[in-house]
Structure 1
Amino acid sequence: MKLLRFGPPGQEKPGLLDAEGRIRDLSGVVPELAGEVLSPAGLERLAALDPSSLPVVEGHPRLGPPVAGMRNFVCIGLNYADHAAETGAAIPKEPIVFLKSLGALQGPNDDVEIAPDSVKTDWEVELAVIIGTRAKRVSEADAMSHVAGYAVCNDVSEREWQAERGGTWDKGKGHDTFGPLGPWLVTKDEVPDPQDLAMFCEVDGHRFQDGSTRTMIFGVEKLVSYVSHFITLHPGDVISTGTPPGVGLGQKPPVYLKAGQTMRLGIQGLGEQTQKTVAGH
């Protein structure tokens, strides 16, 4: 099942994608894709619906983030062995955890702002794990029972702010528009092995990232369990699990984004995003 939210920012309605690729309006069934709706029981109720009984949404509405009510936008750094190698970093002994500001969250195809003082804005295609039920200090064996599904995330990053301005990585990760999520939440039953998904990112048609979740250092079960020992996870929370090689920082010489470009990125079975870069203020 592919669940989504459509409409103007702040006015999104819940929907699902039917087998023909049409958006069906779920707002008469559930008020939002949040809370208990994301639990196993909530998802079972949605899966039992006949999509043809739901109103078709005409045209091509804007898509928002596929879940509402997020409390924690958690990211994992240097979680692909080949990405760590391209940055010259050692393989982490434990997951590197940082938080992305909720203010960065946006729809999958919304414009990405290049801040006026940014010189090193970069792209990162990532597998996002979406939490369905509260997870606190859960075991790896139990971790997947707390997962609602998966989505594509672009962990847009300003490398100078991240690495050259002192302190933590968060400064380079939390700018407005730096967290495109979607196009939809794909429920975990449609993703039999999250550790075997092809993924890519292109800028102006040039493919920079062409990787696979196979090279993740810490897998989904480990990450959900690990993070839950430090941060209680709630329905709608996201763990963005790291990026494969091919980021701008890793190019020789490095390549960074500027206003007027187009990013296209996607993950096998989870859909694609397209963002234009615009001058921020």
Structure 2
Amino acid sequence: MKIARFRVADGPVRLGRVDGDTVTDLSDVPGVGSSLRAILPELDSLRATIETASGAVHPLSDVVLEAPVDDPQKYLGIGMNYAAHAEEARQAGVPVPENQMWFNKQVSCIVGPYADVERPAVSEQLDYEVELAVVIGRRCRHVSRDDAAGVVGGYLVANDVSVRDWLAKRSPTFTLGKSFDTHGPLGPWLTTADEVPDPHDLELSLTVNGEERQRARTDDLIYDIYDQIEYLTTVMTLMPGDILATGTPAGIGAPTGSWLKPGDVVRASVEGLGSLENTVVEAR
């Protein structure tokens, strides 16, 4: 099942079921409302109703897709978690961490799958990172690796947009360099976990103006999704709607100085989950 947040023209944001190239409005389904985060813990009980709902149907080309979850309590990302990317970093003189290395992206960075991404006035070192993102489906703490699949609500495509000089020099905790406004495109919809038989066997890719920059499979993850959930829930309670960006593969712009510039169109895709397409603009 694929669930989107969308609006028609300047109308209110609604939830909808995505089927092929259409979205069915779920506004009249009791208990659904307009917040995906709010219904995540109830998706199992709502599934039959959502799957058979017959609200207004809109072509996807006629609606504006919003970030499927725009109000998570936490948006966490893991660094250097693909083997090829870690080697890329090592060759550039960046030490490879011995354990999972997590950072915060402030939730105010989140934008929709086709929203503009701003190049900030304070830096030209704007970089891209295609990632598979996990959306937590229920409140959980101290989750074992064996039980971790059961707390996943679904999956999204993420572009972990990064301002490299702010990561390396201005904010050594990563938080600021990862959290500029508009630097968290997510979407295009939530694909529920039951539709992703093996999240560790998916292809990711990213192009800039049609030129391929990244391509890899999630079997190159150093710490897989279930390792990540076990590690994080040792420390904190994860809540419905929390987003985990699981790492980016090799091919980022930093090693060659291939920074994004205004006018660039960045397309990030994950097999079976869809694509984001964001245009870079000067900060307003």
TM-score, reference length from structure 1: 0.93
Count of aligned positions: 277
**After the TM superposition, which segments of 4 or more aligned residues of structure 1 sit over 6 Å from their partners?**
none
Q: Who is 2:217 aligned against?
A: 212
Deviation at 1:32, TM superposition (A): 2.7
The sequence identity of aligned pairs, in percent, is 39
The one of 250, 274, 278 equivalent to 1:275 is: 278
CA shift in 2, pair 1:166/1:187, >3 Å: closer
Aligned to 1:81: 83
Tell me how far apart the structure 1 counterparts of residues 203 and 6 of structure 2 sit (CA, whole Å).
Answer: 26
In structure 2, give the amino acid aligned to 1:246.
Answer: G
Shift of residue 200 of structure 1?
0.4
- CA deviation after TM superposition for structure 1 residue 90, in Å: 4.4
Q: 1:92 offset after TM fit, Å?
A: 3.0
Unmatched segments (≥5 aa) in structure 2: none
CA contact (8 A) 2:15 2:36 kept: no
Amino acid at match of 1:258: K
Give 2:269's aligned residue: 266
1:199 to 182, 198, 204: 204
Superposed displacement of residue 166, structure 1: 4.3
**Superposed CA offset, 1:35-65 (max 9, x none):** 45212x4244234444462211255211111
Aligned counterpart in structure 2 of residue 224 of structure 1, from 224, 229, 235: 229
Give the Cα separation in 1 of the matches to 2:228 and 2:162: 21
Residues 1:37 and 2:27 aligned together: no
Contact in 2 for aligned 1:37/1:43 (Cα 8 Å) = no
Offset at 1:231? 2.6
2:129 is aligned to 124
Displacement of 1:114 in angstroms is 0.3
Asked whether the equivalents of residues 5 and 15 of structure 1 are also in contact (C-alpha less than 8 Å), the reply is: yes
Is the counterpart of residue 183 in structure 1 residue 188 in structure 2?
yes
Aligned residue number for residue 57 of structure 1:
58
Listed one character per residue, the Cα deviations across residues 174-193 of structure 1 (whole Å, up to 9, x for unaligned) are 00000000001111111111
Q: Structure 1 pair 170/11, CA: closer, same or farther in 2 (3 Å)?
A: farther
Partner deviation per Cα, 1:178-221 (whole Å, 9 max, x = no partner): 00000011111111111110010000111000111110000011
CA distance, structure 1, for counterparts of residue 179 and residue 28 of structure 2: 34
TM-score scaled to structure 2, two decimals?
0.92
Q: Which of the residues 84, 102, 112 maps onto 2:117?
A: 112
Distance 1:202 1:37 in 2: 33
CA RMSD of aligned residues (A): 1.8
The one-letter code sitting in structure 2 at the alignment partner of 1:25 is D
